[in-house]
Structure 1
Amino acid sequence: MMKINDITAAIARSKKERKAAIENGKEAETSWRTRFRSLRGNLTDELRAQHSQRIVSRELAEEFTGLIEELEFEHEGEMMKAAGTGRVYVNAHNTAFTQYAEGQWEAAMRNLSPTLIRAVRLKLLSLRLNDRGRHTDPQHVEPEAILAREVGKVLVDKAEAARLDMDAEPVVSEIGVHRPALTGVDMRLLNSPAAIHKLVHERKAKLERKQQKESQA
């Protein structure tokens, strides 16, 4: 992204300079033609200098046009790289966080409170005792499924309301709870390998046309 930012700044600067060169060229063109006609074609040293200046402005604008095209091509390539490394970065974060969360889950499941286990057991027995539709109701839901849903809802509700104390979470703080920010990255390229594949072919064709044009010059 540092490379992309540098290229973006260079493009903006070059566009500004090209605009200035074009405007200066137009002004010099108008001034030169007016002086040329007023002097009835008498090419004074001053008029020759003005003539050179308008040519310089025109050529400078053309040079900036070519430079901008090259910079935009380079910018495009760097953005493809950023999308690729950004995807690797996001996947690495996702893997790290998932592995840590799974480890913590497994550790918690191995150390469940005996009080909670007892309460769940009693609740399950109660549901089975009051189960009336096991063999008659086609829409019947097993007591185990009912209890799993209830326990799951209670745990999820409490987890949603809980807040992590990041001072006591060194690993989570290091990994980060949110997906890494990819400010400035083209999200279309990040999320679509097909878009990158298409762009690769377009860039190849563009490069071939440029090389062919240069060989004919």
Structure 2
Amino acid sequence: MSTTENKPASLIRFEKARAEHTAKMTAFNAVAADITRCEKERQEAIEAGKEAESYWRTSFRKLRGNLTAELRAEHSQRIASRELADEFAGLLKELELDKQFAMLRCCASGKEYVEAHQTAFTEFADAHWESALRNVSPSLLWAIKLRLQRESIASTFVGEDRDTTRDIAWLVGNALTRAAIALPESILKEAPLLENIGLYRPALTGVDMELYNSPVRRTKMAISVQAQLDELKGGDQK
């Protein structure tokens, strides 16, 4: 396994960006899970409050307003259920804002992740391209040289603007590109470094892509969320 010392800087940045984005998505999913749980518990508190309210009123009328210890306890329970539901409602407002902030962080880390992948993959591809050019087969160069000479003897390209070097460059490039396309994609996965980087742009699963693709929307959301959080905190301090 490669050590940090011999890894390209672009790969180190990519791995760091990938880890940071994973952490941001984990945090976002945790907030989303908290919201789901709180919504469920709030609904349960509401239902419990309704049931306690109905039972208490029935008992209150049945006892003609005689507040027994049991009835007083039931009264406290129905008030507690109502207050608990209200507390959950307030908490859910904060969690929804936390969720939006978490998504903004995911958009930022996702952008860094995608850009780091682009850089790492590009450097990897360019390095192999340059290496291949330095080590190109002499027989291929010989064949190209012959093809250039053949064109001067028996031209296959027509037109007043024809250029032998340009035409053969196109011919060679087209032939090599078609041969490369014909190779199985599995051959690309044989390089451990490339397997680490990945052949394709990272899939930002779970990220709001409309938000991701709109810096203006992200800025407006950040300002709005911060203002709402400040308002909530100000209300708590009163």
TM-score, normalising length: structure 1: 0.84
Letter in 2 for 1:197: T
Distance 1:37 1:126 in 2: 110
Q: Does 1:53 align with 2:77?
A: yes
Structure 2: unaligned runs, 5 residues or longer: 1-24
Determine if contact 2:94/2:229 at 8 Å carries over to the other structure: no
SS at match of 2:118: helix
Letter in 1 for 2:95: L
Q: 1:133 to 1:184 in 2, by over 3 A?
A: closer
Q: What is the match of residue 152 of structure 1?
A: 173
Shift of 1:19: 0.4
Shift of 1:127: 4.3
Shift of 1:104: 0.8
Q: Does 1:107 align with 2:128?
A: no
Letter in 1 for 2:201: R
Q: Does 1:180 align with 2:202?
A: yes
CA deviations on 1:123-167 (whole Å, 9 max, x unpaired) are 344445535531xxxxx5544444333333322222222134367
Letter in 1 for 2:124: Y
Determine if contact 2:60/2:71 at 8 Å carries over to the other structure: yes
Shift of 1:211: 3.9
Distance 1:177 1:60 in 2: 51
Q: Give 1:42-191 correspondences, 5 Å limit.
A: 42-127=66-151, 129-130=154-155, 131-134=157-160, 140=161, 142-163=163-184, 164-165=186-187, 168-191=190-213
The correspondence for 2:47, drawn from 14, 17, 23, is 23
Q: Does 1:6 align with 2:30?
A: yes
Number of aligned residues: 211
Shift of 1:117: 2.3
Letter in 1 for 2:90: G
Shift of 1:43: 1.7
Q: Does 1:39 align with 2:60?
A: no
Distance 1:41 1:214 in 2: 37
Q: What is the match of residue 137 of structure 1?
A: none
Distance 1:110 1:183 in 2: 40
Shift of 1:21: 0.4
Range moving further from structure 2, 85-94 or 122-131: 122-131
Shift of 1:59: 0.3
Q: Which has the higher contact order (CA 8 A, sep 6+)?
A: 2
Structure 1: unaligned runs, 5 residues or longer: 135-139
Instruction: From the CA coordinates, give the structure whose radius of gyration is larger.
Output: 1
Q: 1:141 to 1:214 in 2, by over 3 A?
A: farther
Range moving further from structure 2, 193-202 or 100-109: 193-202
Range moving further from structure 2, 84-93 or 22-31: 84-93
Q: 1:132 to 1:34 in 2, by over 3 A?
A: closer
Distance 1:63 1:91 in 2: 42
